[in-house]
Structure 1
Amino acid sequence: MKHNTLDGVKMLHHDEMRNYDRIQGKIVSVIMNHGCKIIETPSFEDYDVYQHFFPHLRQQMVKTIDTDGRVLVLRPDVTLPLVETAAREFPRSNQLLKFGYVSTVFREYFGRSTYGKDFLQGGIEILGDSSPECDGEVIVMAAEVLKAVGVEQIRIDMGTAAYTQALFDGLPLSEQEKMQLREYLSDRNLVALRRYVASLALNSDARRALEALPVLFGPYAQTLSKAREYSINSGMLNALSRLERVYDYILYAGFADKVQLDFGFASKLDYYTDTVFKVYIDGALYDVIDGGRYDTLSAQFGVDRPACGFGMNINLLYEYMSDAGLLAHTEPSFQLVVSYTKADQTVIRDLMYWRSLGFRVAAYPDSSFIDSRDYSIHAIYRNGSYYKDGKELTAVELEELVRGL
């Protein structure tokens, strides 16, 4: 019988599981230190909800049918179900809610050398706080998470969707024309953008600002100064003033040297409303963390509540840490393995006693094979005695060897 292997589906092995557990523990520790409560959203979500809010995920969703005939999807995102649930369970719009999570997300991802149909995602969502200091804390948490797992060389690209929105609000254009502009900006298609801008009925200041957006990035002070020069209305200047307060928080927290500004962030979906950011690891070709402020999403579920958060692909982080030699060396699965020709009362009781002490012990018939990399000590049991490397040992002597590891 021929078995087809699903592309992008693999088993995690012992060493990987232990390292993932260590990384997850570090992430949870950091976000709990900031007062976040750890939560888990449902594994299944309504397809129509995602179809409405995140149509760009449509092709990546894993769909199924429930017993009532409804189309469901395996969780392709955490933010949406979290915000929806919070609106239902915590209807007071100004109540401060700080949530953290580590959950499996079911959609494709691509790394430098890895690919999968699901990945472990960690993140936080702060609801009910509209302040720029909240945005600063979210970005600092992202940096702290990476520092906690040993990743020091990072770059934080920070921008503000409010700056772009204020520019668009002041343009005498139709929604269709603005949508086309957003598409070119999102793709950073400079040639098409300039050609399209030239065809629109705009004054020279507006043209200059639109053409500058995709290339308006670099060191904080220098780029902020240029952004002021391109500001053509008070809304754009107000967005920059708020961005300065976000930066001040990051500065006081000790991560300002990691920050550069990027005003080229754009989304066709208008998901983010103000601060946006991505965190890159030195040597990686992709961001491992992205997030920002999204103040209008909760209102779609009946509670008008500001929100800011981030998500990180832990599988991509793991790939980088593996390549950089930052993963911990793990111990063998078993401290002791005991092979036997026949198991009797003595060996069974010894095994149970050692396990009650917390030792990792395996026992198997001597006709079976066990990989020598999976254990530290191998002993042979025969007629009430243990033998290691040809030397006879008592159960107490064998126990002492294990204690000495």
Structure 2
Amino acid sequence: MAKTLDDMKMVHEEEMQNYDRIQEAVTRVMHRHGCKIIQTPAFEEYDTYSRLFPQLKREMVKTIDTDGQVLVMRPDVTVPLVRTVAREYPDPHQLLKFGYVSTVFREFFGKSTHGKYFTQSGVEVLGDPTAECDGEVIVMALEFLESVGITDVRIDLGNVSYMHALFGSLGLQDEELALVKEYTARRNLVALKELVEALPVNCRQKEVLMEIPELFGECKETFRKAEAYCLNWNMKKAVQRLRDVYAYLDASGYGDKIQIDFGFNSHMGYYTDIVFKVYADGALYSLISGGRYDELASRFKVPRPACGFGMNMNLLYEYMEEAGLLEQHIPSCDLAIGYSKVDRHLVELLHRWRSEGYSVFGFSLQNRVVPGDYRICAMYRDGKFMIGNELVTEEEIKRRMEAV
């Protein structure tokens, strides 16, 4: 079945070894920044997600619990984390920094891989409203990639509150505003121009609406243009916030990797301020995306500011494989011993070596094994061992296991 879905394939040990290394690397980054590692609930109420993210309804994996309630398997980590935090940490002023590695049940598509679920790692910081928090969150995202050898990256940095402040001042009908947002997000200039010309707004507002999709590029010039297009105080405030975050990133050594973009948004509709995506050289998709979502927590009765990001580790694995950044397979077993006939001495020896911490595998010569799966492969017969054509002692085998 050449077209077997990724979620119907078995994950092999060499892949699991690399996933483990990636997870260990990003977890070290979380700990360096003072994050606590958590796991969110695997099931969520369908009504919660259908209300917050109606655009995800078709992607959600649904099930029914024993009481007949419709549940969805976690299509996102941020919402269940914020909901759980509201119950377990009711003080809205407490600073909380969480890191996680969790399975997310949502369709994804890469260059050569796809599936209905993926492993996501990320960070969520709650209770800190500052631009410095935004900067540190983005630095953590970059350090995630650096920890696995990816340094040639580009950061697209924007602020959705800039567009929200513009749209909020136009007085448009919901249907008109939805189309403006859709065409702007897709950068469909032809459709946007036709729509804007028919809108009941003044010439200056039409000019700014048409400029938004192309308001991206080098930092200094893009900031200058964005300020020139400000029609109200909230738009100016959004530009200044973005300047403050850029200053933090520049001081952290990442200024030359940043492109400012006032025209992009996220399909996860809870972002209220800073948004960002991180691209690696040669990748067709962003490896990391995130932003600030200050209003989400209020839906769960404990309002507090928050900022975070997520990284699809399946897409990261695909990119690292193509870039030659994955480590070669390391045999997981220290020793394989083939025998034509087992005896008490061999059984006792295998048991002793295992109790000493070595991984040892005994197999009948009626079976075939792949030598590369084991660090040492020996043959046993009548109390004697052979490695290749060399007769060796038990002590020599143990020394070789110690050496590797």
**Is the 8 Å Cα contact of residues 121 and 312 (structure 1) preserved in structure 2?**
yes
Identity of aligned residues (%): 52
| Alignment map for 1:85-124 (pairs within 5 Å) | 85-124=84-123
Q: Which residue of 2 aligns with 1:126?
A: 125
Deviation per CA, 1:351-390: give whole Å up to 9, x if none: 1222233322211111111112212321111122212223
Conservation of the 8 A alpha-carbon contact between 1:119 and 1:313? yes
CA–CA separation in structure 1 for the residues paired with 2:235 and 2:4: 52
Report the equivalent of 1:349: 348
| Equivalent runs, 1:199-278 vs 2, <5 Å | 199-266=198-265, 270-278=269-277
Looking at structure 1, the residues matched to 287 and 207 of structure 2 have their Cα atoms a distance apart, in angstroms, of 32
Letter in 1 for 2:40: T
What letter corresponds to residue 280 of structure 2 in structure 1?
I
Describe how 1:152-167 pairs up with structure 2 within 5 A. Answer: 152-167=151-166
| Equivalent runs, 1:183-194 vs 2, <5 Å | 183-194=182-193
Return the TM-score normalized by structure 2: 0.96
The one-character-per-residue Cα deviations of 1:321-371 (angstroms, maximum 9, x if unpaired) are 111111112312322100112222211221122223332221111111111
Summarize deviations over 1:70-117 as a string: whole Å, max 9, x none: 111211110110000001111111111111001111111111111122
Q: Name the Cα RMSD after superposition.
A: 1.7
Secondary structure of 1:59's match?
Answer: coil
8 A Cα contact 2:6 2:113, kept in partner: no
Task: Tell me the number of residue pairs that the alignment of Structure 1 and Structure 2 aligns.
Answer: 403
Q: Contact 1:183–1:267 at 8 Å: present in 2 too?
A: no
Q: Verify the 8 A CA contact 2:265 2:275 in the aligned structure 1.
A: no
Tell which deviates more after alignment, 379-388 or 18-27.
379-388
Does the Cα contact within 8 Å between 1:209 and 1:230 map onto a contact in 2? yes
SS in 1 for 2:58: helix
In the alignment, what sits opposite 1:299?
Answer: 298
Is the Cα–Cα contact under 8 Å of residues 342 and 365 in structure 1 kept in the other structure?
A: yes
Return the letter of the residue paired with 1:176.
Answer: E
Q: Distance in 1 between matches of 2:103 and 2:59?
A: 14
Structure 2: how far apart are the matches of 1:74 and 1:348?
46
Task: Quote how far apart the aligned CAs of 1:190 are.
Answer: 1.1
- Evaluate the alpha carbon distance shift between residue 250 and residue 321 of structure 1 in structure 2; reply closer, same or farther with a 3 A threshold: same
Aligned to 2:287, the other structure's residue is in SS state strand
> How many Å apart are 1:275 and its aligned residue?
0.2
Residue 312 of structure 2 corresponds to 313
Q: Which whole-Å CA distance do the structure 1 matches of 2:396 and 2:240 have between them?
A: 71
Q: 1:182–1:268: 8 Å Cα contact kept in structure 2?
A: no
Q: Deviation of residue 6 (structure 1)?
A: 5.5
What secondary structure is seen at the aligned counterpart in 1 of 2:325? coil
Question: Conserved in 1, the CA contact under 8 Å of 2:271 and 2:293?
Answer: yes
> In structure 2, what is the equivalent of residue 179 of structure 1?
178
| 1:229-253 residue CA offsets vs partner (Å, 9 max, x unmatched) | 1111111111111111111111111
Residues of 1 paired with 2:37 and 2:19: CA distance?
17
Mark the CA change 1:239 to 1:24 in structure 2 (over 3 Å): closer, same or farther. Answer: same
Query: Letter of the aligned partner of 2:135 in structure 1?
Result: G
Encode CA deviations 1:1-50: one digit per residue, 9 max, x unaligned: x9x96664211111111111000011011011111110001111111111
C-alpha displacement of 1:394: 2.0
Q: What SS does the aligned partner of 1:60 have?
A: coil
Residue 279 of structure 1 aligns to a residue in which SS?
Answer: strand
Q: Could you tell me how far apart the structure 1 residues matched to 2:106 and 2:267 are? A: 20
Residue 335 of structure 1: SS of its match in structure 2? strand
Shift of 1:393: 2.2
TM-score (ref. length: structure 1): 0.96
**In structure 2, what residue type is equivalent to 1:45?**
E
- Cα-to-partner distance string for 1:180-207 (whole Å, 9 max, x where unaligned): 2112112221111111000012112111
Equivalent residues of 2:5, 2:114 under 8 A apart: no
Three-state SS of the structure 1 residue aligned to 2:8 is coil
What is the DSSP-based 3-state SS (H/G/I as helix, E as strand, rest coil) of the residue aligned with 1:304? coil
Question: After the TM superposition, which of the residue ranges 307-316 and 65-74 deviates more from structure 2?
Answer: 65-74
Cα pair 1:179 1:268 within 8 Å, conserved: no
Amino acid at match of 1:192: A
Q: Is the 8 A contact 1:183 1:268 kept in 2?
A: no
State how far apart, in whole Å, the 1-side matches of 2:267 and 2:209 are.
Answer: 16
Cα deviation for residue 268 of structure 1 reads 7.1
Q: 1:98 to 1:21 in 2, by over 3 A?
A: same
Asked whether the equivalents of residues 130 and 306 of structure 1 are also in contact (C-alpha less than 8 Å), the reply is: yes
Distance 1:281 1:189 in 2: 25
Partner in structure 2 of residue 70 of structure 1: 69
Partner of 2:16: 17
Q: Which residue of 2 aligns with 1:44?
A: 43
For the structure 1 residues 282 and 293, does the alpha-carbon distance in structure 2 shift closer, same or farther, using more than 3 Å as the test?
same
Whichever residue aligns with residue 326 of structure 1, its letter is L
Query: Relative to structure 1, is the Cα distance of residues 347 and 114 closer, same or farther in structure 2, using a 3 angstrom cutoff?
Result: same
